[in-house]
Chains A and B, each alone.
Chain A
Amino acid sequence: MAKKSRSSGLWYEAWLRFKRNKLALLGLFMAASVILIAIFASLIAPYDPVEQLIWTEGREVRLAPPSVKHWMGTDIYGRDILSRIIFGARISLQIGIFATIVSLLIGVPLGAIAGYMGGWVDDLISWLINVVFAFPFLLFVLAVIAVFQSPSLRVVYIAIGLVNWVGIARVVRAQFISLRDREFVEAAKALGLPRGKIIFKHILPNALAPVIVQATLGMGSIIMTEAGLAFLGFGAQPPTPSWGLMISEGQKYLSMGKWWWAIFPGLAIMYTVLAFNFLGDGLRDALDVRLKR
């Protein structure tokens, strides 16, 4: 009866629920497409994303509108916008993933400790969470970047991670508070297991579902933040094909009728953020058992 025992597993049930959700499937498909584009960027992209064609081919490739040769047109240096958008997927995902990892590395242990220990430890960590929460998000990130005095992708994802962990910490803390007095935890305590082992081996796996939801939903907002930082000039540095940077460079030319430089990266950001939001929403619906009952 192996089949039956599988069908009753939490993850399998979640997948069944997920499958029934059309928007969630769409999100999965969209996110997968962005990931594939990022992985195979160098195979798909028709041009080198940083090659400036104006120096060799002259004025015709400067701010050229979409054509057969350049599907999304070119920018002022004659760089192919389609190729830059394809490579830009790498930047966005890279930031999204690494900033999420940094957030998890900080948020999960702090949330777990706060939720499990309670008392003054919880008070202290909750206070810290509230302080970071109270701060305007973008301003805090800009301040962290200013401390490094040298903007780069690594600085950006560390900065975002340093601010973004609070959401994850809150979710983990809430889970731990509701789980810490359950029988299986009592049992583990009674066996005399060390505290670390109880927290990370016994409680954490049970608290994982909401963390996954939070992290997925967070991807969208992190990608937006990166684009915002790049737009302001404090994110990815030129000539990196970051979507936010492309909008920032191209927006002045919108009014000149050269819309393709800023509009296409804008659409790319929209697509990616939507993808992760649909996916995250679907995961929440699928994993949140209470909601479905």
Chain B
Amino acid sequence: MKRRLVWFVMVVILLSLVFVGQNAAVAQEPKYGGVLRWRAVNDPPKLDPAMATDTSSSRNVYLMFDMLVDNDPDGKSIVPRLAESWEASPDGKTWTFHLRKGVKFHKESLGKPTENGGREVTAHDWKYSFERLVKVNSPRAYFIDMVKGYQDFVDGKADEWVGIKVVDDYTLQFELDYPFSPFLSVLAYNSFVVVPKEDAEKWGKEFNFHPVGTGAFILERWDHDQRLVYRKNPDYWKKDEAGRQLPYLDGIEIVIIPDNTIAYEEFKKGNIDVLPAPPDEYYEEIKAQYSHLLQERPELGTYYYGFNNSKPPFKDNLKLRQAFNYAVDREAINELVIHGRYYPAKGILPPGIPGYNPNLRGYEYNPEKAKQLLAEAGFPDGITVDLNVNNDPRHTLISEAIQAQLKNLGININIKVLDWGVHLDLCERGETQMFRMGWVADYADPDNFLYVLLHSENHGSKGNYSFYSNPKVDEMLAAARVETDWDKRMKLYQEAEQMIVDDAPWLFLFHYTTSLLAQDWLKNMHLPAFGDYTTPLEVVWIEK
């Protein structure tokens, strides 16, 4: 009896080894064909990359357009896209990009031939595309306002953007007013793509509804509030490692389903291939039943409660601010209230951003210490503070938990739930005591967090809503902006972040995660740190 069992186990192990081996062999070989259906919550507000600033627009822009450079999936470095290589001058003020040859614009769009006729992209197109950002008032053009001649071109004093030079057909050069180290990361933003002049000029503002780019997919149909249908670009420039033409898929459908319950049911039925950001209310069920389909990782974003450092009671009261930080049990809130969908934060920079410091000294949950600090801060009998929160179920959920935890120490929190517009306005004007805020990276560089959110130059609407200022920190952040040595820069940022965390201008809370559910017949699908909406689809294939 025992012997037979042993035999049986051995056979099973052998068989499974054979099958695993086969599977691995099959998985190597990509398959062509098929359409991938991706769920969207709403109609994309903008398809013109110059205007796209939200994630639902970006999802579509990434399918149709290409930037010079790209973020690698882990957000740790910048990789080539339409530029094959680049170099910066020793003073950090001149950047030269060597363009990929043989990249072609879409030959057709929405079922009709395009004006450009599918011609090759040259450096002239890049110059045109960057100048177009200013001409059409792109809300993100200011990201590169350090490129020489920006202001003159904006003011109409110059008829070209002199800092952008076409050296030859395949060489593009930027001249900056001052060395700006995050420049390369900024160029990976979805507005800095190449568009064909012929089509952009023909359509003008209507280019938004007739987008033409160089990307892996071509827009075929846009049924507003229902779906966007893309089909593959047969002339796409990119090949896989084995030299096979990309993309593998015949097309993409962005299916618009506003309701979470319906979207989830459709996914379960297999009518949807990808469900980005699966809803909270199903998260526990998903973890239990579909964990093999779930991809999840830290996103480049931070969730915090800012203290108003320019007004009492938090102004000049370090111990009070620290007391709050010791009083909150981030792990328990994350686990019990928001289904473990965030990561507890020690500081400002999220994991995945260059310069992230895993050894940062933060604040652990320590109610005793909090109580002691509260007394030392001058509030032995407790204190009452207003907390402004914008109206969103998840935010109020978290705020109520924090309210209850602080209450144990005698801290009374008055929660004020406000409309986003009112909330932002009050934060910008500094008319708060304490407020909820979040920040997601525009570009993968610590500058985008530390400089924007905590440099004293940016008080108010520019991003420093907590009105924090520390001359030493200011100095370091400014120095890091122009430092061209990568390691030195990162060191500066890490030191600055530690200094800020010690000053406790915020109640540090969480880092976001990004997640998606993908059917098991989708292969080679990898969720990037930048968020579900940036997932590259040209390398995905369907194995049914």
CB of B391 within 8 Å of the partner chain: yes
Residue tally, chain B, CB below 8 Å to A: 29
Of B241-249, B395-403, B460-468, B533-541, the one with at least 4 CB within 8 A of chain A? B395-403
CB of A221 within 8 Å of the partner chain: no
Question: Which of A150, A232, A248, A252 has a CB less than 8 Å from the CB of B281?
Answer: A252
Q: Which chain B residues in 382-421 approach chain A with CB under 8 Å? A: 391, 393, 396-397, 399-401, 403-405, 414-419
Would you give the shortest CB distance from B430 to chain A, in whole angstroms? 14
CB of B55 within 8 Å of the partner chain: no
CB nearest to A62 among chain B residues: B336
CB of B280 within 8 Å of the partner chain: yes
**Residue numbers in A under 8 Å from B279 (CB-CB):** 252
Known: A55-B332, A62-B336, A249-B396. A237 touches B415 (CB 8 A): yes
Decide if A256 touches B281 in the complex (CB within 8 Å): yes
Would you give the shortest CB distance from A151 to chain B, in whole angstroms? 6
CB of B426 within 8 Å of the partner chain: yes
Would you give the shortest CB distance from B396 to chain A, in whole angstroms? 6
Decide if B281 touches A253 in the complex (CB within 8 Å): yes
Majority DSSP secondary structure for residues of B touching A: helix
Mark contacts of B267-309 with chain A using CB atoms, 8 A cut-off: 1 yes-contact digit, 0 otherwise. 0000000000001111011000000000000000000000000
Decide if A151 touches B397 in the complex (CB within 8 Å): no
Known: A77-B337, A252-B281. A151 touches B404 (CB 8 A): no
CB nearest to A257 among chain B residues: B285
**Residue numbers in B under 8 Å from A255 (CB-CB):** 261, 281-282
Known: A54-B336, A76-B397, A149-B422. A233 touches B391 (CB 8 A): yes
Taken together as a complex, chains A and B put the C-alpha atoms of A238 and B284 apart, in Å, by 25
Decide if B393 touches A151 in the complex (CB within 8 Å): no
CB nearest to A233 among chain B residues: B391
Known: A149-B418, A237-B417, A255-B281. A248 touches B404 (CB 8 A): no
Taken together as a complex, chains A and B put the C-alpha atoms of A151 and B422 apart, in Å, by 12
Would you give the shortest CB distance from A57 to chain B, in whole angstroms? 11
CB of A59 within 8 Å of the partner chain: yes
CB of A144 within 8 Å of the partner chain: no
Decide if A234 touches B417 in the complex (CB within 8 Å): yes
Decide if B284 touches A256 in the complex (CB within 8 Å): yes
CB nearest to B279 among chain A residues: A252
Taken together as a complex, chains A and B put the C-alpha atoms of A248 and B397 apart, in Å, by 11
Would you give the shortest CB distance from A159 to chain B, in whole angstroms? 14
Majority DSSP secondary structure for residues of A touching B: loop
Taken together as a complex, chains A and B put the C-alpha atoms of A238 and B399 apart, in Å, by 9
**Residue numbers in B under 8 Å from A94 (CB-CB):** none
Taken together as a complex, chains A and B put the C-alpha atoms of A248 and B426 apart, in Å, by 25
Question: Which of A55, A77, A151 has a CB less than 8 Å from the CB of B400?
Answer: A77
CB of A146 within 8 Å of the partner chain: yes
**Residue numbers in B under 8 Å from A62 (CB-CB):** 336
Among B285, B400, B422, chain A packs the most CB atoms within 10 A around the CB of B400
Mark contacts of B320-350 with chain A using CB atoms, 8 A cut-off: 1 yes-contact digit, 0 otherwise. 0000000001001000110000000000000
**Residue numbers in B under 8 Å from A149 (CB-CB):** 418, 422, 426
CB nearest to B396 among chain A residues: A238
Taken together as a complex, chains A and B put the C-alpha atoms of A233 and B336 apart, in Å, by 22
Question: Which of B261, B337, B401, B417 has a CB less than 8 Å from the CB of A233?
Answer: B417
Decide if A146 touches B281 in the complex (CB within 8 Å): no
Taken together as a complex, chains A and B put the C-alpha atoms of A248 and B281 apart, in Å, by 13
**Residue numbers in B under 8 Å from A239 (CB-CB):** 400, 403-404, 415
Among B279, B332, B404, B426, chain A packs the most CB atoms within 10 A around the CB of B404
Decide if A77 touches B281 in the complex (CB within 8 Å): no
CB nearest to B284 among chain A residues: A256
Taken together as a complex, chains A and B put the C-alpha atoms of A26 and B22 apart, in Å, by 74
Known: A62-B336, A149-B418, A255-B261. A52 touches B401 (CB 8 A): yes
Give chain B's interface residues, CB within 8 Å of chain A.
261, 279-282, 284-285, 329, 332, 336-337, 391, 393, 396-397, 399-401, 403-405, 414-419, 422, 426
Besides A149-B418, A238-B403, A255-B261, 10 more A-B contacts (Cβ < 8 Å) are A50-B404, A76-B397, A149-B426, A233-B391, A234-B391, A234-B417, A238-B400, A249-B393, A252-B279, A252-B393
By Cβ-Cβ distance, the 9 closest A-B pairs, closest first, are A233-B391, A52-B404, A252-B281, A238-B400, A233-B417, A238-B415, A237-B415, A54-B336, A256-B281
